[in-house]
Structure 1
Amino acid sequence: IVDITNWVLLETGQPLHAFDYDNFRPRRGLIRKAKPGERFLTLDGVGRTLSSNSLLITDGETPVAIAGIMGGEKSEVSGSTQNILLESAYFDPATTRRASKELGLVSESSYRFERGTDPENVVFASKRATRLIQELAGGEVLKGMVECYPNKVTFPRVRLRSRRVSTVIGIEIPKEQSRDILTGLGFRVEGDETFEVSVPSYRPDITREVDLIEEIARILNYDNIPALERPGGELVTPLPQEQELTRAISGILCGRGFFETVTYIFKEPGKYRVFGGDDGFVQLLNPISEELSILRPNLTGSLLETVNYNLNRYEKNIRIFEIGKVYFKTGEKEFSERWRLAAAISGHRERRHWSLSPTPVDLFDLKGELEGLLERLNLPDVSFRPKGEAIFEAAKGFDLFSEDQCLGEFGKIAEEVLEAFDIKEAVFSFEIDFERLLKLVPRERRYQSLPKFPPVDRDIAIVVDHRILAGEIEKSIRELDLDSLEEISPFDQYVGKQVPPGKKSLAFSIRYRSPERTLTEKEVESSQKRLVQHLKAKFGAQLRS
């Protein structure tokens, strides 16, 4: 009997189950949802705890099978079985899969029901098995069949554009050929240029236009479709902006001599407390060990671990970066994760060479790499402001701003932080909020024609309060909107005997140029005079003679 049900399963794709009907008390067949916590002994001898996600076949009172998955031990067919109840059914794929995964139980039946069986095949498979039982097992078939089909399954009609077939496959396919192929596969095709295709019940996998195109390509034989050397047409999908930016950053930094790292997100809390306590740590409920019990709160720590690993193996010149996620608490039971970009450098500026003296990297090397990256990304209005965080040495930590938004930080890592990671060499690093960076990086790059007229350069040196930043003065000059101002850049800072205490001297190079004509000396001097008056009024600046 069991062999016959298995044979019909392989022959028709329809799972069947034979019950020992004498074990039904009362002799009924009802289907219901399992009760939460209900226990059931399956054919494999395992007692299972069920939830309301499972369907049960019952005799009206006692469960006899988990619907679509496995029968029960108490109702299985044995050598003493005299009367059989044959069950053939169609069960919802999602319901079957949910119960199968929850129970960790996969069977030949569940495998097929999860993927969708043919509801129109239920009666045929039952009759086929009945006939084989009659012929091979000497069974006597009783008259009649109990059938319950309350919600008839409807089959989709899919719209297929004949021109779309040729576009996707890549060769010209006459619409008549597409119609003949689909008709030969059992589909009913109506229409002319745009087909309305009725999907047969035994093809639950066909739900979209592209599914029908795949069927046509399969019958044509993929070997008969020539391969194109390059992609084209509507199938070329542009990369998401975050993926474009990730590739751009990786390409730029690798081109500047950096190596990309990919590190574990599980970390040891002891090391990371040096970044400011453990209040924001995301603790794992069941960690592998204490050393891997939190999710990393930043990428800088991951890079410092990589620096330590390389220094211990006598790799002294280190330039590394990573793009990855960090995790932190935002409330009592609330958590957040964000993408970050971080980089670290240590060692010497150049590779060892007989003609060069080894020069250690410093803060300006890191700043140059950061500025080079942001310039290539065309990030607007970049500025740096001093930072007082303990992660960096005093006066050697800075916040990175663009359009008055703080994007990240960079500087020389403080001694106490390096000690926590057992590093004895100087390390410089930056860490940027990748998601904020993504919003500010322009997707389009603008170009302008080469200038036709010569520039006029002027230098200016001013004495200001030592707390005023060069970046503040530069930004203020740009906002002044001077006629023909093209470029401004600081090139010198002086603190010493020739300036009063509490003051410093800053020098700027200023370039003027008109796109329409050559500027006159009078025009340049007028702009320069206006600039000096503005600096005196806003910053109390004095020209340095």
Structure 2
Amino acid sequence: MLVPLKWLNDFIKIDDLNPQYLADAMTMSGSKVEDVIETGKEISNVVTGKILKIEKHPNADRLIVCMVDTGKDVIQIVTGANNVKVDNIVPVALHGSTLPGNVKIKRGRLRGVESNGMMCSAKELGIEEKNAEHGILILPDSTKVGADIKEVLGLNGVIIDFEITPNRPDCLGIIGIAREAAVTLNRKLDIPEIKVKENSVLIDDYININIEAKDLCKRYAARLIKNVRLGESPDWIKERLTEAGIRPINNIVDITNYVMIEYGQPLHAYDYNKISGRQIIVRRALDGEKLITLDGKERILKNSMIVIADGDKPLVVAGVMGGESSEVTEKTTAVLLESACFNGTSIRLASKALGFRTEASSRFEKGLDPNIVLDALNRAAELIAELGAGDVVSGIIDKYEDKLKPWTIDVSADRINRFLGTSISRNEMKDILTRLDIKVKDGEEMRLTIPTYRSDLELEVDIAEEIARIHGYNNIKSTMISGETMQGGRNKKQRIEDKIKEVLVGTGLYECISYSFASPSDFDKINIPKDSSLRNTVKILNPLSEDLSIMRTTMIASMLGVLSRNYSKKNENAGLFEIGKIYIPKDGEKLPDEKNMLVIGMYGDYDFYYLKGIVQLLLKSLGMDGYEFVRDNKNMTFHPGKTADILIYTKKGDSNAKKINAGIIGQIHPDITERYDLPDSTYLCQMDFDALLENCMIERFFKPIPKYPAVQRDLDLLVSRDTMASDIENIIREKGRGIVEDIKLFDVYEGKQIPEGKRSIAYSIIYRSKDRTLKDEEVNEIHAKIIREIESRLDAKLRL
């Protein structure tokens, strides 16, 4: 926000301060200064001069030669301007002078005639050009000759550019900045009393106001101006508006903008005679309703927008931009002035939807204080009366039902000091708060009454921040951090997660991360039955798209999507894994059950046994020796006959413990790989991470090196193709009488010499006792019992 210091000086005396000092002080107290701008800084060695004599140029018809008195010397200047006369006083850029835009003026010759400077136009001096067609800026006859042009035209001002944070809408006006400066500098704030000169006519006879959208308009007030005399604003208003970054238009519009900059409260002026039915209605726009705004463009409105309408049509998009149908023009004779407080969120959304942002909308969207509405309205009426721009009709129509009142906060000086790490006295705190226009009622705790324009002050910590910034952050001494410290560390879940990642990355897999959002169509793509509980999902209220409209209940579709993208990018081999969450709704509860899952996916130079080996390695690294792979022909996501459930024991290493299903592993069904544009040899494993976490054994227990030798026996069996290797291994362990140390499957063969429907499976069995040396007879006896049990239960035969 651009703040001219001359304007600021109307409310707090700062003309004795260096502008940079003021800027630094304001920044240190929390009002960040972006820049200090000196208007006219680029202008040097330009003075006022009086034209003594004018002659035609001897070598050019369109040039003239002027003799100009600059106060110290009489110099000759050649110009092409046709609006100058003898005795005119004009700005003269002398030899060696500079103008805005880094323009340098030097003496020279024009068509053979010497010229020792240049007479300037308003544009060349960087100010608003009144009569551009006339060229040179003609100054009043009373202007002193030889005076510095910056002093004459007021081009020696200073403007401070403040960065206003969104939580301080009260600082979006000169008065708000003046309040901050008064507190920062500990100087008196002087806001003049507003005195409006009214006529005897009552406004109630002319207009009726009704607020229909009370949730979007907290307050609406209006004044009527009759006998409007539209014209140019006085120079001091135009100068201040220009310095504040506002283009002057006419006296009525300029006054509304002037008050907006001064108070931070936007106003709007309607041509009263264009208001149908003499009524103002504050309502929601109708969907599809049209309005031509002041920029001449037709806008399509939405029901979420606020419009100010008359009995027939919308007049303006409230808080954003006026409409062409009620614009103040040269023919306007009566003006209705509006000052209102609109819902900030609605204004912001309307501004965004319509594609433009104005000075008014940028203020409304931050949330303004409804209690400044009348002050701003009366200030505008006061200026209109003072400048003779119209006659102010007596009275105000003010619709304000749910009034915003000051609120209280109880604070403790001791708590604030502990929070800040300071030792600020209670009296200093009270002084700071009083300067901030906060009323203090002393007691065991201080009860503070907060002014309504400070909407950012709600909690004790907010008050602590106010005290700290006004006391001065630079005055708060640095102290060592205090408190109890604890040694950091990772919990069990984090350690297990790190271990799983370490193992899987070590096998050559890459970790990936996918969205927890999913598409309802994913269930059909991966063949989830219609009656499956997995289709009961958490719906997202405001999804980015239909493809991201639910929370996933399985990670299989997510992994297949990642694999599909890799395959489409010509990645011939991919092995990926992800640890993430699925979201299972719980009956009668708002929040779902968030289960942690592990999913592994691969295609290319991999097969089922490669993936199974990775899973076995993972389970072993987690200390889970008790597990089984059990064939699953019912899961429709996977290839029938090439899928297995992963069962683990709930008690680590105890074969008698309860078995739980911890996941599934297999080749993806061909129909599904076709839908995802993946090769047929796509394999996937999904495991319950929480089950792994609960049943893993990350502690390692060491045992001494065996004292007694091992005995090895091989076992080559002919079994049905449907026989599970795990069934054979379970019998071996069951009949091994505790001396079976290890079982290794070293050969599986189908082909010649093997009957149809059969396969050969060969094991190497290691026998060892912890307390003695085994004899061959003992081992042979146990080995024979194992063979007989396998032949009996599994209809197997020993191959010789």
Shared fold (TM-score greater than 0.5)? yes
Residues 231 and 3 (structure 1), Cα distance of their counterparts in 2 relative to 1, 3 Å cut: farther
Tell me how large the CA RMSD over aligned residues is.
6.1
CA contact (8 A) 1:474 1:488 kept: no
> What is residue 153 of structure 1 aligned with on the other side?
404
Residues 398 and 160 (structure 1), Cα distance of their counterparts in 2 relative to 1, 3 Å cut: farther
> What is residue 686 of structure 2 aligned with on the other side?
432
Query: 1:540 aligned to 781, 789, 793, which one?
Result: 793
Supply the distance in 2 between the matched residues of 1:458 and 1:205 (Cα, whole angstroms): 82
Supply the distance in 2 between the matched residues of 1:136 and 1:193 (Cα, whole angstroms): 53
> In terms of mean alpha carbon deviation, does 141-150 or 316-325 score higher?
316-325
- CA drift at 1:126: 1.2
Residues 141 and 326 (structure 1), Cα distance of their counterparts in 2 relative to 1, 3 Å cut: same
- CA drift at 1:306: 2.0
Query: 2:310 aligned to 49, 55, 59, which one?
Result: 59
CA contact (8 A) 2:496 2:693 kept: no
> What is residue 602 of structure 2 aligned with on the other side?
344
Supply the distance in 1 between the matched residues of 2:449 and 2:768 (Cα, whole angstroms): 72
Query: 1:491 aligned to 744, 755, 763, which one?
Result: 744
Quick check: 1:71 aligned with 2:325?
no
- CA drift at 1:310: 5.3
CA contact (8 A) 2:711 2:766 kept: yes
Supply the distance in 1 between the matched residues of 2:475 and 2:618 (Cα, whole angstroms): 46
- CA drift at 1:218: 4.9
CA contact (8 A) 1:384 1:471 kept: yes
Query: 2:289 aligned to 38, 42, 48, which one?
Result: 38
The residue type paired with residue 492 of structure 1 is: L
- CA drift at 1:182: 5.0
CA contact (8 A) 2:643 2:666 kept: yes
Supply the distance in 2 between the matched residues of 1:476 and 1:158 (Cα, whole angstroms): 76
**1:112-153: per-residue Cα shift (whole Å, max 9, x none)?**
222210111111111222222233453322221111111112
> What is residue 367 of structure 1 aligned with on the other side?
612
Residues 472 and 194 (structure 1), Cα distance of their counterparts in 2 relative to 1, 3 Å cut: farther
> What is residue 469 of structure 1 aligned with on the other side?
724
Q: Which has the higher helix share?
A: 1
**1:351-374: per-residue Cα shift (whole Å, max 9, x none)?**
xxxxxxxxxx65444334344456
> What is residue 665 of structure 2 aligned with on the other side?
409
TM-score (norm. length: structure 2): 0.46
> What is residue 332 of structure 1 aligned with on the other side?
none
Residues 32 and 230 (structure 1), Cα distance of their counterparts in 2 relative to 1, 3 Å cut: same
Residues 78 and 401 (structure 1), Cα distance of their counterparts in 2 relative to 1, 3 Å cut: farther
- CA drift at 1:419: 12
**1:40-98: per-residue Cα shift (whole Å, max 9, x none)?**
33323333343443333233444322322322211111122221111111112234345
TM-score (norm. length: structure 1): 0.63
**1:169-193: per-residue Cα shift (whole Å, max 9, x none)?**
6x45658476665554444456778
Query: 1:127 aligned to 365, 375, 378, which one?
Result: 378
Matches within 5 A, 1:125-524: 125-136=376-387, 138-154=389-405, 157-158=408-409, 171-172=421-422, 176=426, 184-188=435-439, 197-208=448-459, 211-212=462-463, 214-215=465-466, 218-219=469-470, 220-221=472-473, 253-254=504-505, 256-260=507-511, 297-307=557-567, 309=569, 311=571, 319-321=575-577, 341-344=599-602, 346=604, 363-373=608-618, 383-386=628-631, 396-400=642-646, 404-405=660-661, 407-411=663-667, 429-432=683-686, 437=688, 439-440=690-691, 442=693, 450=701, 467-471=722-726, 490-492=743-745
**1:285-329: per-residue Cα shift (whole Å, max 9, x none)?**
999xxxxxxxx9442353254256455xxxx775444678999xx
Q: Which runs of 5+ in 1 are unaligned?
A: 267-271, 288-295, 328-337, 348-360
Q: Which runs of 5+ in 2 are unaligned?
A: 1-251, 518-522, 536-543, 548-555, 584-594, 649-658
Identity of aligned residues (%): 29
Supply the distance in 1 between the matched residues of 2:431 and 2:739 (Cα, whole angstroms): 69
Structure with bigger gyration radius:
2
Supply the distance in 2 between the matched residues of 1:224 and 1:511 (Cα, whole angstroms): 75
Supply the distance in 1 between the matched residues of 2:253 and 2:623 (Cα, whole angstroms): 71
- CA drift at 1:476: 9.8
Supply the distance in 1 between the matched residues of 2:343 and 2:329 (Cα, whole angstroms): 29
- CA drift at 1:6: 1.9
Supply the distance in 2 between the matched residues of 1:157 and 1:248 (Cα, whole angstroms): 54
Q: Secondary structure at the match of 1:44?
A: coil
Supply the distance in 1 between the matched residues of 2:675 and 2:451 (Cα, whole angstroms): 70
Supply the distance in 1 between the matched residues of 2:435 and 2:365 (Cα, whole angstroms): 27
Query: 2:274 aligned to 23, 46, 52, which one?
Result: 23
